């Protein structure tokens, strides 16, 4: 009997893989499977942080509205974001390219120009990779970073009473994706006569096409003398990530709908599509903001222009959404599952 992967989902599958790999017996492995990146102690002053993430054509992007330069940039950014989410400095990368026949030399060059630009901005050096044929354009990146072992921040570690904070705003990358999808549909319907209106949606489209990792913010945390108790980056959506933090920390959490930071353009797009901005913020994903837990006394040390307190950690295991009307409901981890 064979089990379709959709039956157990992406996370169920990773659990099955973990069982085969077994307990890690090496005490220098500070974190194996289960966080944004793995953490390996080099010595008492240095830990290495390693992560791998891939982008596959037709799954993560569509070449018809993702220019290769943006794609190269994004493939680095999503990995840098995972290293940053461990409170570490990203440093070295290797890049796997799987190339189908429809990809030209010039496209690969653009892709690398985009990758190089991001690397320069974050202090990352590409030190190698692999190139192979493939049925769809496939980009796999491995990112290595460093931190002091005592300053690495994991998904575990939040305590009841901690504040739940998030950088930037939520749901805008998803709003941008919806705008691009809508314009592609309109183009198909109206043909040549269609002229896309991208200017009114510039912010949300950029959030989707050219995401950024919050390296600057973790530097601010250090300057402010704040070490979060737990942290994760938002790749799959707030609802999913808050559940990861709560489960790994062994506590529950409450999120206040009224406090969710949502950009006016995101609200406009949601309204036009007759959908809820809260839904965009909770389940949109790909924002690459940081979601973290801090002790309440640290709150005043953070710049309110860069971070919003959206809730708190509580005893128990339930993750609850407190609606603007005062009602509350369980916030399910409805993040993106590749096999769901
Ligand atoms: P993120 O969304 O932060 O990139 P993922 O959901 O991709 O994290 O991965 C969750 C955890 O599972 C990570 O610790 C990752 O290293 C691990 N993982 C994912 N896929 C595999 C795999 N095929 N083999 C081993 N570990 C994996
Ligand atoms: Mg992550």
CATH value at residue 218: 3.90.650.10
- Residues in contact with ligand 1 (CB, 6 Å cut-off): 14, 17, 33-36, 38, 53, 82, 235
Is the domain of 128 the same as that of 31? yes
The mean per-residue pLDDT over the stretch 207-218 comes to 95
d(CA 306, CA 308): 7
Going by CA atoms, what residue is nearest to atom 23 of ligand 1?
14
Share of the chain above pLDDT 90, in %: 87
CB–CB of 83/212 below 8 Å? no
Q: Which two structure tokens, joined as six digits, stand for 42?
A: 């080099």
Is the domain of 239 the same as that of 121? no
Report the number of distinct structural domains present in the chain.
2
Range with the poorest average pLDDT among 17-21, 278-282, 313-317, 330-334 = 330-334
Nearest listed ligand to the Cα of residue 32: 1
Given a cut of 90, is residue 191 above it in pLDDT?
Answer: no
Residue 156 lies in a domain: no
Is the domain of 38 the same as that of 176? no
Is the domain of 202 the same as that of 273? yes
Which tens digit of pLDDT belongs to each residue from 91-133? 999 999 999 999 999 999 999 999 999 999 999 999 999 999 9
Neighbouring C-beta atoms of residue 128, cutoff 10 Å: 10
Which tens digit of pLDDT belongs to each residue from 285-322? 999 999 999 999 999 999 989 999 999 999 999 999 99
33 alpha carbon – ligand 1 mean position (Å): 6
Residue 337 lies in a domain: no
Is the domain of 183 the same as that of 60? no
Is the domain of 280 the same as that of 137? no
- In this prediction, residue 66 has a pLDDT band, given cuts at 50, 70 and 90, of confident
Given a cut of 70, is residue 340 above it in pLDDT?
Answer: no
Given a cut of 80, is residue 334 above it in pLDDT?
Answer: no
Is the domain of 222 the same as that of 289? yes
Is the domain of 220 the same as that of 320? yes
Residue 138 lies in a domain: yes
Which tens digit of pLDDT belongs to each residue from 260-287? 999 999 999 999 999 999 999 999 999 9
CATH number at residue 98: 3.30.1330.10
**255 is in which domain, residue-wise?**
163-330
Is the domain of 218 the same as that of 308? yes
Residue 155 lies in a domain: no
Is the domain of 136 the same as that of 185? no
pTM: 0.94
Going by CA atoms, what residue is nearest to atom 26 of ligand 1?
33
Q: Which two structure tokens, joined as six digits, stand for 276?
A: 């809820």
Residue 158 lies in a domain: no
Is the domain of 142 the same as that of 182? no
The mean per-residue pLDDT over the stretch 186-199 comes to 81
Q: What is the pLDDT of residue 186?
A: 86
Q: Is 134 exposed, middle or buried (0-12, 13-18, 19+ CB in 10 A)?
A: middle
d(CA 233, CA 312): 17
Q: What is the pLDDT of residue 339?
A: 65
Domain end: 150, 173, 207, which one? 150
Is the domain of 132 the same as that of 231? no
- In this prediction, residue 197 has a pLDDT band, given cuts at 50, 70 and 90, of confident
Mutate which of 14, 22, 231 for ligand 1? The one with the most ligand atoms within 8 Å of its CB, which is 14
Residue 59 lies in a domain: yes
Which tens digit of pLDDT belongs to each residue from 218-245? 999 999 999 999 999 999 999 999 999 9
Neighbouring C-beta atoms of residue 266, cutoff 10 Å: 27
Q: What is the pLDDT of residue 338?
A: 67
Domain end: 95, 124, 150, which one? 150
């Amino acid at each position: 009997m064979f089990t379709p992967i959709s039956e157990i989902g992406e996370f169920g599958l990773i659990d099955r893989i973990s069982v085969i790999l077994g307990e890690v017996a090496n005490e220098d492995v500070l974190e194996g499977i289960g966080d944004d990146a793995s953490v390996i102690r080099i010595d008492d002053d240095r830990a290495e942080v390693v992560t791998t993430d891939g982008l596959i054509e037709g799954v993560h992007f569509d070449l018809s509205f993702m220019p290769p330069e943006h794609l190269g940039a994004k493939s680095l950014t999503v990995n840098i974001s995972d290293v940053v989410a461990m409170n570490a400095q990203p440093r070295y990368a290797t890049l796997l390219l799987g190339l189908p026949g429809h990809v030209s030399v010039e496209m690969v060059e653009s892709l690398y120009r985009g990758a190089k630009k991001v690397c320069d901005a974050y202090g990352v050096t590409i030190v190698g990779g692999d190139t192979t044929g493939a049925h769809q354009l496939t980009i796999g990146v491995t990112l290595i970073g460093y931190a002091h072992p005592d300053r690495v921040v994991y998904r575990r570690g939040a305590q009841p009473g901690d504040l739940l904070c998030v950088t930037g705003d939520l749901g805008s990358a998803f709003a941008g994706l919806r705008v691009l999808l809508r314009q592609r549909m309109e183009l198909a319907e109206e043909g040549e006569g269609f002229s896309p209106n991208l200017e009114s949606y510039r912010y949300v489209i950029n959030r989707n096409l050219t995401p950024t990792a919050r390296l600057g913010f973790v530097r601010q945390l250090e300057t402010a003398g704040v070490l979060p108790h737990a942290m994760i980056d938002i790749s799959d959506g707030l609802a999913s990530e808050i559940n990861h933090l709560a489960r790994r920390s062994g506590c529950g959490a409450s999120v206040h709908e009224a406090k969710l930071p949502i950009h006016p353009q995101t609200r406009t797009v949601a309204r036009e599509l007759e959908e809820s901005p809260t839904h965009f913020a909770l389940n949109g994903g790909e924002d690459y903001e940081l979601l973290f837990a801090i002790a309440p006394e640290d709150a005043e040390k953070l710049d309110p222009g860069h971070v919003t307190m959206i809730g708190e950690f509580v005893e128990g295991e339930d993750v609850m959404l407190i609606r603007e009307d005062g009602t509350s409901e369980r916030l399910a981890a409805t993040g993106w599952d590749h096999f769901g």
